[in-house]
Amino acid sequence: MAKTVDARGLSCPQPVLMTLDEIKEGSADELLVMVDNEASKENVSRAAKSHGWKIADISEAEGAFNITLRKE
């Protein structure tokens, strides 16, 4: 089951740090990260890739980006 990281309303580096905390916890093989700006979307994606996760999907809805990450 995917864990959700709701980082909407937060500016970098907080969304990245929250995502990396969940990655390091290691309890999920899939994460849904919600952010509300382009910079956070790019930074979270880059950080996840650097830790061996792949970007499975990025969708935009109601002014927010939903980034689905999967452990490789």
* Average pLDDT of span 54-68: 96
**Model confidence, pTM:** 0.94
Residue matched to tokens 């309303």 = 9
Would the pLDDT of 71 be above 90?
Answer: yes
pLDDT, residue 1, reads: 72
Which residues does 69 contact at the CB level (< 8 Å), separation at least 6?
A: 19, 30, 31, 32, 33, 48, 53, 54, 55, 56
Give the pLDDT confidence of 10-24 residue by residue, as tens digits.
Answer: 999 999 999 999 999
Domains, the chain, in order of start with CATH, read 3-71 (3.30.110.40)
